[in-house]
Amino acid sequence: MDATRIVERYMAIWNEPDEEARRALIAELWSFNGAHFTSTEEARGHDAIAEKIARTFDRFIARGGFRLQALSCTDAHHQAIKFYWALMPADGGMARSVGSDFLMLDEEGRIRADYQFIEP
């Protein structure tokens, strides 16, 4: 398992402006029944995950002028990956938000569960 590469691909999805490209990346990275969980919602399956990411992209990337960026603290073992990220202004400056994700992978190395945490 190349955790750093998985995190790079994961982050690329959230910053991808092309909806078709996003959906293709989701199909590559998530298992068919994969899920994305936050404290307030859950998205199960590729279509729901694509909708969640599209809403986030529209709000923060396209209209908000931000980029999601992985931080350098990736850790992995036993088909699980933990990493931290920041929502950064595209033109520089301090992070607007930081958080972490905990990914549980299936036996093929695809995401079966993604738990997102936003830091206060």
Q: What is the pLDDT of residues 101-117, one digit of tens each?
A: 999 999 999 999 999 99
Nearest in space to 40 (alpha carbons), one of 25, 62, 55, 27: 55
Any idea which architecture 3-118 has in CATH? Roll (3.10)
Q: What is the pLDDT of residues 39-84, one digit of tens each?
A: 999 999 999 999 999 999 999 999 999 999 999 788 999 999 999 9
Q: Where are the domains of the chain?
A: 3-118
H-type alpha helices, the chain: 3-15, 19-29, 46-56
Task: Please say whether the beta carbons of 66 and 87 come within 8 A.
Answer: yes
Say if pTM beats, i.e. exceeds, 0.95.
Answer: no
Separation between Cα atoms, residue 61 and residue 67, nearest integer Å: 6
